[in-house]
Amino acid sequence: MTDADVLDEVFEVIEARKETLPEDSYTASLFTHEKGENAVLEKLGEEMTELVLAAKDDEHEEIAHEAADIVYHMLVLLAMKDMDLEDLRSELEDRR
Ligand SMILES: N=c1c2ncn([C@@H]3O[C@H](COP(=O)(O)OP(=O)(O)OP(=O)(O)O)[C@@H](O)[C@H]3O)c2ncn1[C@@H]1O[C@H](COP(=O)(O)O)[C@@H](O)[C@H]1O
């Protein structure tokens, strides 16, 4: 499986959670007033700091862990703003 496939799959699950809001889902909780946009932004800030610290310590596993947390929460943010991976891909394409 390529990286693009896993990103698409995770994004699809996020969109489904946004639609159906299952009670036992952390992702769904981010789309409710219980947590919401501020919780996502706070998480992104925390995880960015953790990524910087992991990079400084040259901890490769930790770098991958924090980077994945950031990508996941970034995908949630895109879905929250009614955007999708195409918006990200076209922005990157435009820079080539
Ligand atoms: N990729 C993720 C993902 N990354 C992080 N998290 C959750 O985000 C929450 C907060 O993350 P934290 O980084 O604070 O937690 P942590 O790993 O202990 O953090 P640190 O050690 O970095 O501080 C935790 O409950 C994690 O489980 C995620 N929750 C869900 N997903 C994806 O979303 C899908 C749907 O999951 P549900 O949310 O369960 O519906 C899953 O199949 C995954 O693909």
- 84's CB contacts (< 8 A; 6+ apart) are 11, 15, 78
| Domains identified in the chain and CATH numbers | 3-85 (1.10.287.1080)
Could you tell me if 73 and 43 are in contact, meaning their C-beta atoms sit under 8 angstroms apart? yes
Q: Give me ligand 1 centre to Cα 45, in Å.
A: 15
Confidence category of residue 96, pLDDT binned at 50, 70, 90: very high
0.90 exceeded by the pTM?
Answer: yes
pLDDT tens profile 27-76: 999 999 878 999 999 999 999 999 999 999 999 999 999 999 999 999 99
Q: What is the pLDDT of residue 33?
A: 81
Alpha-carbon distance of 10 to 8, in angstroms, equals 6
**Ligand 1 test: best mutation among 26, 31, 41, most atoms within 8 Å of CB?**
26
**Ligand 1 test: best mutation among 72, 73, 75, most atoms within 8 Å of CB?**
72
35 burial via Cβ count (<10 Å: 0-12, 13-18, 19+): middle
